Amino acid sequence: MSATGISVRGVEMVFHRKQESQVVLRDVTLDVAAGRLVTLLGPSGCGKSTLLKIVGGLLAPTSGSVTIGGRPAEEAVKARQIGLVFQRPALLPWKSALANVSFLNEIIGGRGAKGAARTTAERMLDLVGLGDAGTKLPEELSGGMAQRVSIARALALDPAILLMDEPFGALDAITRDRMNSSLLDIWSQTDKTIVFVTHSIAEAVFLSDEIHVMEANPGRIVETLTVELPRPRTAATLDDPRFVEYERHLRQGLVGGAIEGVTA
């Protein structure tokens, strides 16, 4: 299966609460080319998670449209092309790591699918470097390991699109750097299109082909930045003068208000 691209057109999202209504997303338009890794970068509350849910067909926008591989997002859900990773691992505490990874495929495939689902799950645990930890329960895993399991669970569905909502936000800095490297590693072995939400500038620059910078009230995209750093990206990438320059530019924009349309 070749990689699938995403197209978001004029998405508005308004939440109604009692009397008030809040515009959470205004006129969001973006394209993600097939097989790319793009990030949504922005401060808390600017609607990143909301946009991710809309892209994944899990939330219907007030207006506008999302197509995945040329078809409406809801169809991508029906075709099980969406893999999700959240900030917390959200594992079933009573199931082993392996069972957690194969769980969704067992649901999709019914009873007959269990054997195949377990085989896939073993491969995915290997891929995220947890081949030996399959029998462990979630409470026996470190935060980083648990998050790897949740990535394996998403990959086990073999989705065309991987939506990751601050997947490493709860991890310590060292583990986070390692997870970033291994995510790129895993990604290079697959042909997934990844939309990655973060509020870490360095993480965004390190990972992305493209960064969509968002601002709040109303949530919108204020800048799209193409990151032209060579791949594979390694520790050396962090010392690349262009990396430092991208980081400085984004920091000024987000913190200093230099990006167009943003007031500090």
Partner 1 sequence: MSADTIAQAVPTTRRRRPWAALGRGLGGIWPSALLATLAVVAWEIVVDVFDVSHFVIAKPSEIAEELVDKRELLLDALWITTEEIVYGFALSAVIGVLLALVVARFRWVDRALYPLIVLFQNVPKVALAPIFILWFGYGLTPKLLLVVVIAFFPITLNMRVGLQAVDGDLLLLMRSVGASRGQILRRIQIPTALPYLFAGMRIAITFCVIGAVVAEFAGASEGLGYLIQYGSTQLDTPLVFSGLTVISILGLALYYAMSALEWLVARRFPLPNAGQAQA
Ligand X SMILES: Nc1ncnc2c1ncn2[C@@H]1O[C@H](COP(=O)(O)OP(=O)(O)OP(=O)(O)O)[C@@H](O)[C@H]1O
- Interface residues with Mg ion (CB under 5 A) are 49
| Binders of partner 1 in range 28-67 (CB under 8 A) | 53, 56, 58
Size, binding site for ligand X by CB under 6 A = 11
Q: Which option in ligand X, Mg ion, partner 1, none does residue 37 bind, with CB closer than 5 to 8 A by kind? A: none
Residue 76 found at the interface with ligand X (CB under 6 A): no
Q: Which residue type, as a one-letter code, is found at position 14?
A: V
Residue 226's DSSP bridge partners are: 210
- In this structure, the number of other CB atoms found within 10 A of the CB of residue 182 comes to 16
Residue 224's DSSP bridge partners are: 212
* Backbone phi and psi for residue 153, each to the nearest 5 degrees, phi listed first: -60, -40
Residue 126 DSSP label: H
- Rounded to the nearest whole angstrom, what is the least distance from the CB of residue 163 to Mg ion in the complex? 12
- Rounded to the nearest whole angstrom, what is the least distance from the CB of residue 6 to ligand X in the complex? 17
Q: Which helix (H) or strand (E) holds 250?
A: helix 241-251
User: Which C-beta is closer to Mg ion: that of 50 or that of 208?
Assistant: 50
- Rounded to the nearest whole angstrom, what is the least distance from the CB of residue 261 to Mg ion in the complex? 22
Q: Which residue type, as a one-letter code, is found at position 7?
A: S
User: Which C-beta is closer to ligand X: that of 45 or that of 72?
Assistant: 45
For residue 194, which of 15, 55, 61, 28 has the smallest C-alpha distance?
A: 55
Point out which residues bind partner 1 (CB under 8 A).
53, 56, 58, 77-78, 80, 82-84, 86-94, 103-104, 107-108, 137-144, 146-147, 157, 169-171
